[in-house]
Amino acid sequence: MDPRNAIAVSATLHCLTGCAIGEVAGLMIGTALGLSTGQTIALAVGLAFAFGYLLSSLPLVGAGMSPGRALRLVLAADTISIVVMEVVDNAVMAAVPGAMDSGLVDPVFWLAMIVALAAAFVAAFPVNRFLIDRGRGHALHHAHHDQHDQHDQHDRHDQAHGSEHR
């Protein structure tokens, strides 16, 4: 597989995971609270963005980036992908008869959700590939990781061989 396709698949799956967690959590909360369909969708979309950004930020913060810088990078890298996913996901859910009116225990809901998330992946993959090809999107994540890895390799080299720079 072309390395850029592999990065695009990884980026798309990363966003899809956050979107799926947020969508399902929002639908569960909205249903439990008796919110209207519009309110439940708004909650689910908001949580999809929140979880998408959170899941993308955690590895960056874990690699030593400040939370503020990580969030700025993630906002720049993931917003377009999440927007595409949410538009497609919600359009498919709205197009499947009975999906929006079904409860969380109804197989129609879960089958529609699977189809909606698969369609969202298919729609977002070329967006992520386009962004990566232009040094945007998850390419920004990988650029940070590459710089971090090079810095770590330099530090290990200095520790192993001594350094006049210290």
Query: So what's the pLDDT on residue 10?
Result: 87
CB 16 within 8 A of CB 120: yes
Please classify residue 81 by burial: count the beta carbons closer than 10 Å to its beta carbon, then call 0-12 exposed, 13-18 middle and 19+ buried.
buried
H helix or E strand, kind and range, residue 79: helix 67-95
Radius of gyration of the chain (CA): 19
Query: So what's the pLDDT on residue 86?
Result: 94
What is the tens place of the pLDDT at every residue in 29-57?
Answer: 988 898 888 898 999 999 999 999 998 88
What is the tens place of the pLDDT at every residue in 112-141?
Answer: 999 999 999 999 999 999 988 888 765 555
Closest CA to 14 of 72, 107, 94, 82: 82
Query: So what's the pLDDT on residue 150?
Result: 45
CB 25 within 8 A of CB 130: no
Determine the average pLDDT of the residues in 152-163.
47
Q: Retrieve residue 119's tokens.
A: 């369609």
Tell me the CA end-to-end span of the chain in Å, nearest whole number: 42
> pTM for the complete prediction?
0.78
Confidence at 142, pLDDT banded by 50, 70, 90: low
3-state secondary structure of 134: coil
